[in-house]
Amino acid sequence: MTNGLDYIAWRGDLSFERDPLNEVDIFLFSQLVAPDYSGIVPDDEKEISIKETADRYFENHTEDVSNLGVLQSTSALPMLKAMSESVRFGDLKLCGFVNKVNLDNEEQCCGLTVKLPGDIIFVVFRGTDDTIIGWKEDFNIATKDIVPAQEDAVKYLEWAASVQSGDIYICGHSKGGNLAMYSAAMCEDSIKDRIRAVYNFDGPGFQRKFLQTENYLGMKDKITTVLSQNSIVGTLLHRAGSVLMVNSCVAGPMAHDGFNWEIVGTKFTNSDGLSDVSKTIDRAMDETLDSMETEEKQAFIDELFDTLMSTGAITVTDFTNMSVQSFLSVLKSFRGDEKVNRFVAKVSDSVVRTVKERDEERFKEKLSETAKAGEAIKLKTQESIKAKIGGMKKPAPEEI
């Protein structure tokens, strides 16, 4: 399967003047904000090229993404290196790197501005970081009219627009996609006129009432939500803008990683719709939250994250050392009401089914590999026997 890294290798020798901006470029920009550029990319309008940014970053870091946390793609740092070495991306300028995290306020927002030729800027928002508190803020979007990160995103966009001229594109992956959409809808009217497009890559949507506001409706036609057919995060709440469903080569949480989405040329390949597991989780979440009052939703979210943090875990990476059985035990330790228990049961069943399907697929692949290996050995043996027979000296007639 061809992915974003393959695209850079294929298209990296062509500048934006020779080959126009496309949706794969925009996805790559959404991933560019994953590393911590503190002390490298200025937090104001001063600029630094992607090439120099990468050189300085890798002076003190390897391409090992473990320091980025389990939620960031394993391709994020190889992507940065490949972009820095390419004609297409290497000379693009970065500025305004801001990373704001406040545990007491349950707040996490990170922004970056990318300058393209032709008086174009990209405002990019990072998705949820590795902290559990960052994930809680994601869920708070379901119960609160506005969360701190959304306010931060609006301020960041308005700052970027004030120090840069030209057309504006906004994008983000995961929660960063929600921040991109929210900031575009809620910024000053003078900035809205400059916005050409907004891309949300597998990020959560909004409460229904937000989608009925004039601010959102005025920006709706400029918004594209890109979802993997195995999406989980992107199905939370109500989707915004036009929806582009794309093929992923994996299921489960890894389907959230856009480098597992199939690319042909300069586009993602389209999928017919969500997978059965994604539909199950989507319905379970919708049914649970829609049946609750706001206070009940907040109590559900508080209990969920209190339970997760009661394990001693601070980051999602901490959970990677847990077995599926241990994770399910955490889910089942809720003291929630019947609605919550029903939701947990559905999610648990979906997790078990996903793992079972994954293991069955791996078993089938192993059988196929074994069969191919066996066939290869058989053919090689037959060829060896034929060669030996062919090389044997035939007896002369008088010797018979």
Cα distance between the two ends of the chain: 61
Between CA 81 and CA 55 the distance in angstroms is: 8
Band (pLDDT 50/70/90 cuts) for residue 1 is: confident
Q: Measuring CA to CA, how many Å separate 254 from each of 248, 259, 265, 284, 326? A: 9, 9, 23, 20, 19
Between CA 72 and CA 33 the distance in angstroms is: 10
Between CA 225 and CA 199 the distance in angstroms is: 6
pLDDT at residue 276, as a whole number: 77
Q: Measuring CA to CA, how many Å separate 86 from each of 21, 40, 83? A: 15, 20, 5
Q: What's the mean per-residue pLDDT of the chain?
A: 82
- Looking up tokens 């869920």 gives 139
At 271-306, the pLDDT tens digits run 988 877 777 777 777 777 677 777 777 777 777 677
Which range among 153-162, 311-320, 324-333, 368-377 has the greatest average pLDDT?
A: 153-162
Query: Which of residues 160 and 249 earns the better pLDDT score?
Result: 160
**DSSP letters along 2-44, please?**
--HHHHHHHHTTS-TTTS---HHHHHHHHHTTSS--TTTS-SS
Mean pLDDT within 261-273: 92
Sign of CA dihedral 100, 95, 33, 191: positive
Residue type, 240: A
> Would you state the torsion angle of the CA atoms of residues 335, 336, 342, 343, taken in this order, to the nearest 10 degrees?
-110
At 216-262, the pLDDT tens digits run 999 999 999 999 988 877 877 888 999 999 998 887 667 788 899 99
Return the CA Rg of the chain: 25
Query: Which of residues 176 and 297 earns the better pLDDT score?
Result: 176
The CATH classification number of 4-274 equals: 3.40.50
Q: Where are the domains of the chain?
A: 4-274, 291-390
Between CA 40 and CA 350 the distance in angstroms is: 42
Nearest to 24, CA basis, from 303, 263, 365, 193: 263
pLDDT of residue 268 exceeding 90: yes
pLDDT at residue 112, as a whole number: 98
Sign of CA dihedral 86, 92, 98, 103: negative
At 30-40, the pLDDT tens digits run 999 999 999 99
The DSSP secondary-structure symbol of 203 reads -
Band (pLDDT 50/70/90 cuts) for residue 344 is: low
Which range among 87-101, 115-129, 233-247, 283-297 has the greatest average pLDDT?
A: 87-101
pLDDT of residue 69 exceeding 70: no
pLDDT above 70: percentage of residues in the chain: 70
Between CA 41 and CA 56 the distance in angstroms is: 10
**DSSP letters along 110-134, please?**
EEEEEEETTTEEEEEE----SBHHH
Among 169-183, 260-274, 336-350, which is the least confidently predicted range? 336-350
pLDDT above 90: percentage of residues in the chain: 48
Among 65-69, 136-140, 162-166, 333-337, which is the least confidently predicted range? 333-337
pLDDT of residue 199 exceeding 90: yes
Among 14-28, 128-142, 367-381, which is the least confidently predicted range? 367-381
Band (pLDDT 50/70/90 cuts) for residue 88 is: very high
Mean pLDDT within 79-97: 98
Between CA 36 and CA 110 the distance in angstroms is: 9
Band (pLDDT 50/70/90 cuts) for residue 212 is: very high
pLDDT of residue 133 exceeding 90: no
In our burial notation (b when 16+ CB lie closer than 10 A, e otherwise), range 124-141 reads bbbbbbbbbbbbbbbbbb
